[in-house]
Amino acid sequence: MDGILLVNKPKFITSNDLVIKIKKHLNEKMGHTGTLDYAASGLMVLTVGQGTKITQYLQKLDKQYIAEGKLGEITDTYDSQGKIIETKPVEIDEEKLKEIIFSFVGEYLQTPPPYSSKRIGGTRAYKLAKKGVEVQLKPVLVKIYSIEILEINLPYFKIKVDCSSGTYIRSLIKDIGDKAGCGAYMTDLVRTKIGQFDLKDALSFEEILKKNPNQIKLISLKDALYFLPKIKLNQDYEKRFKHGQRLIVDCMESKDVKVLNEKHELIGIGEIKECVLKPKIVLARSEN
């Protein structure tokens, strides 16, 4: 089995446990393109078989989330799984809150939560935080493409967010609360899209474990790499590409490309630079 699998992660299971159980069920090499918090649900993209070779490309895709926040309380984890460390009165009206929420559209420097998978000196930040070590993470430039306000019922609010990879919605909710002057934490999170992949097309975790592995249809690697331009090679060039040789090709802007053979099968990924195609990933098995 080679390809990617769209999974609807349920709440209250770690992303790693989900991957381990599906991997055992399918008996295939497997990876993931980004975790979800323990209490979060929604779309995960798993890479299967040779799909693990393209994980790095899928990790960079933009994301969409639906999140709920609660004003007036701050937790140490920025979500409902943590301890409330501060309470403040909510003295803001609905219109002002809308203005604050929309002010985050665009690029901004965001500090990841102390309880996150970011590494500090080789150690995950959440492991240090659990030991009581003060965690100081560097702000990261993220991009919020759009925010849609779905509901406001103070002190609660619900938003749909389209954002760049690497954005922490927990931090966004906290930052909205800080700007509102009363703090906030995230009470619920659902990931609805990763690039063009949509939650509505995902299989539930339970459904996957019940199905015979042969009945589970994967998205092909060629389709998974929809965002890469393609180049087609003749038989001679195909053989040379598979042996890792650089090839002279038509000049184009320097970029990564998916490489197809004459049968339109995916044989790998290459980088074109100054009219030379350099193999980056070569698949052991050509894929339709």
Residue 119 structure tokens: 């590494």
Establish whether 37 is a catalytic residue.
Answer: yes
Q: Which token pair is 68?
A: 């709920």
H, E, C per residue of 122-147: CEEHHHHHHCCCCCCCCCEEEEEEEE
For residue 31, list its beta bridge partners. Answer: 47
Contacts of 50 (CB under 8 A, 6+ apart): 2, 221, 283, 284, 285, 287
* Sign of the C-alpha dihedral computed for residues 177, 78, 121 and 37 taken in this order: negative
37, 79, 162, 175: the catalytic one is 37
Token representation of residue 136: 């100081």
Backbone angles phi, psi at 167, to 5 degrees: -80, 135
**Count, residues in the chain:** 288
Active site residues: 37
